[in-house]
Amino acid sequence: MNKAELIEIAAKEADISKAAAGKALDGIIAAVVKAVSKGDTVTLVGFGTFKSAKRAARTGKNPKTGDTIKIPATTVPKFSAGTGFKTAVAGKKAAKK
């Protein structure tokens, strides 16, 4: 599924226009990116958690030449799926509380 298909489904499910669904999706994505880039964690209960993680400097190998190269430390985005999402993907019914 691509972004256009997601917007179409969201518009249909929420009974709003595709333009409104597109603006809403863009706003949500922008908010998540801004929060995670500042180091905050975004948790959507049942779906998952977006956060940033530090990756240490390490040595690697250039696959073309075989030379050893230094890979600098960096910060990367990380997503952890929530229980509800994992359960749905596994095809199991959600446990009742």
47 and 68 inside one domain: yes
Secondary structure element (H or E) that encloses residue 8, with its range: helix 3-14
80 and 51 inside one domain: yes
Residue with tokens 């190269």: 69
Residue 97 lies in a domain: no
pLDDT at 31: 97
DSSP 10: H
35 and 45 inside one domain: no
15 and 34 inside one domain: yes
pLDDT at 76: 96
pLDDT at 96: 59
19 and 46 inside one domain: no
Residue 48 lies in a domain: yes
Residue 52 lies in a domain: yes
Expressed as residue numbers, the domain containing 83 is 41-92
Mean pLDDT, the chain cut into blocks of 10 residues (97 residues total): 96 96 96 96 96 96 94 96 93 67
CA distance 28 to 26: 6
pLDDT at 94: 59
CA distance 70 to 60: 6
Residue with tokens 């706003």: 27
45 and 80 inside one domain: yes
**Domains of the chain: total:** 2
